[in-house]
Amino acid sequence: MKKNKKSKIIRTIKVVKAKAAKKMNKKELKLFKDLLLKRKEEVLEGINHVSEDTMKKSQKDAAGDISAYTLHMADVATDTYDREFSLGLGSFEREMLYEVNEALKRIEDASYGVCEDCRNLITKIRLKAVPHTKLCLKCQQKREK
């Protein structure tokens, strides 16, 4: 029981050290916030593009068919596949938007750059590459296994 209590204290100390030591300065936080806002804008453009292409057009409009004849089954299948594929991209974009918004919240509450699993600092190189990340590389690799 003492060992369990001791390890809990050690983890708490690590969290405090991680947050206190090497805290990002305002200039660095602004850089990451700008990266996240740019990414958010790109994602919103992608969502709007998918919405315009997929949701606002009927299958007939999307296929470019202006005749009164019904579409061939193979054409309908291809158009349906394309629509489902686009909706999948839209879903991915919405998930990315959620992650970017969560990262912006972490900047505001001063927890940005701290790994959610191990509570160690995430390297700035990783944050520049994946500014919306919430895990250090080591923990991300563990989750992917």
Residue 1 has pLDDT above 80, yes or no: no
Using only C-alpha atoms, what is the Rg of the chain? 23
Could you report the per-residue pLDDT of 66-94, keeping only the tens digit for each? 444 456 666 666 666 666 666 666 677 88
pTM for the whole structure: 0.64
Residue 8 has pLDDT above 80, yes or no: no
- Are the beta carbons of 113 and 24 closer than 8 angstroms? yes
Question: At 104, is the pLDDT very low, low, confident or very high (cuts 50, 70, 90)?
Answer: very high
Closest CA to 131 of 89, 92, 102, 90: 102
In DSSP terms, which residues pair with 121 in a beta bridge? 114
Residue 15 has pLDDT above 90, yes or no: no
Residue 9 has pLDDT above 90, yes or no: no
- Are the beta carbons of 116 and 100 closer than 8 angstroms? no
How confident is the model at residue 16, as a pLDDT? 42
Mean pLDDT of the chain: 76
Crossing angle, helix 26-50 and helix 73-108, to 10 degrees?
A: 160
Residue 65 has pLDDT above 80, yes or no: no
Helices (H), 1-136: 2-20, 26-50, 59-63, 73-108, 124-129
Residue 124 has pLDDT above 70, yes or no: yes
Say whether 118 sits in a helix, a strand or coil: coil
Token readout for 47 is 């969502």
CA distances from 135 to 45, 86, 93 (A): 26, 29, 20
